[in-house]
Structure 1
Amino acid sequence: MEEQFYLVWPPVLLLLLSLGRRRRTLVLGLSTVVVAASAASWLSYRTPSGGSTPDVYFSPVLGVVPLATGCVLALLLDDERCRSFASGLAGHLGTWAGAAAVVGVQFWIGDDWTDHAWTFGLLMPATGLAAAVLIGGLVSVRTPVSVALSWSPVAWFGRRVSYSAYLWHPLVIALLGTFAIGWFGNVWLFAAAVIVSIGAAYAIEVPVEKLRARVREARRLVAEDHAARSAAAS
């Protein structure tokens, strides 16, 4: 879903902008997509059997909701008036309200979250919206929340480990989850997922990034050499 988004959204955005579509039209259109996809997720929910995750959780219809929400946020923050609005009281309110909502969901949601259609049609889209409001506030004003998230260890985790954790934690839970009993079991299961994620990040992502940097540097040197030869020949 994510890779498809990277392939589809940029050309669609460029096409719409080239056709003279205004930012407000794009925001309204994407907002309509968010609402419609959320409603479709709710309506397409089917009660799972055996405690399994409903198919709607893996559906592109639900997956497009947070992606479209992020696009709306990007379009709004690219507008000078919106940035000015967010740099004041609205940014502070957005930061604290968004943070409270995101953290609150983690404590409020129960183990039976897969048994309710409104989880997928309302709770998940609302959580994505809260996250967007939080991000908008974080990048617009300085608050204790933004300072805490800018702390070097936290920033390192977000930059280096968080995506790896997103990819690897389901595998860790699938392999070790049955051995995690009680709150202590959840603690060591969480720790195991973090350790695996850090290892995967430095075993896979870091070498790939270094290789990419070397390739780019080699291309730059070749381009400079070609330009120098062309200049000398002329």
Structure 2
Amino acid sequence: MTDLPTVRIDGAVHSYEDVPGETGRAPLLFLHEGLGSVGLWRGFHHRIAAATGRRAVAFSRLGHGWSDPPSAPRGPGFMESEATDVVPALCAALGLERPILVGHSDGASIALLHAAAYDLPGLVVLAPHTFVEEAGLREIEATRGAYADGLRERIARHHRDPDVVFRNWNDVWLHPAFRTWDIRPRLAGITCPVLAVQGTADPYGTVAHVESVREHARGPVEVVLLDCGHSPHLERPEETDAAVARFLSSLP
């Protein structure tokens, strides 16, 4: 998808896809996972746009997809900087006023952090991370072997530099300083309605993450548990699409 449009933020080019929708409805902004990109949503944003009539924008973070590489390796605070710096700048550049964020995995954590600091009409998080679990770290460490054993070739179809993508995800999560990462205290800043979808067989995180959103957020939180792994929108698309569309239809 090298023919995607681009937008420049602080001198760096981000690639994105913009699916048009009806005016007067809050737009959707999709935030991808740690190894994700626009293409790796595999059409989820198109399906939700079609089901809801809303404009849907998906973009690739720096180093992902066909966006510019980051100026330096990421550190443990990258999700906070994405939430408070990149997302607002992107919204301003693309005319996304008070969007509903739809995030998956790391993108869901970024969405939670943004919603804790900004007034949003709603929020959808798929397999979010709110703290660090040892079992999840073991799975992330195991992907180092998988990367050399075929994973690199698979993700290279969707990224300009798969090595940068992998290191900026794997190295951050396995950095010693990241073991204390915990955004649960920040969730009290979320006052908008939230839909949290979690796979019960997710190797990267337990249901404790979505339960922590329900426990700490001050807005109403609906939790949907599905019999799947880390990607409900890909593994259980019909149930996930229906839950997201139903939630979005309930918003004012």
Same fold (TM over 0.5): no
Richer in strand (by share) = 2
Richer in helix (by share) = 1
What TM-score do you get using the length of structure 1 for normalisation?
A: 0.26
What TM-score do you get using the length of structure 2 for normalisation?
A: 0.25
- Indicate the structure whose relative CO is greater, using CA pairs within 8 Å and at least 6 residues apart: 2
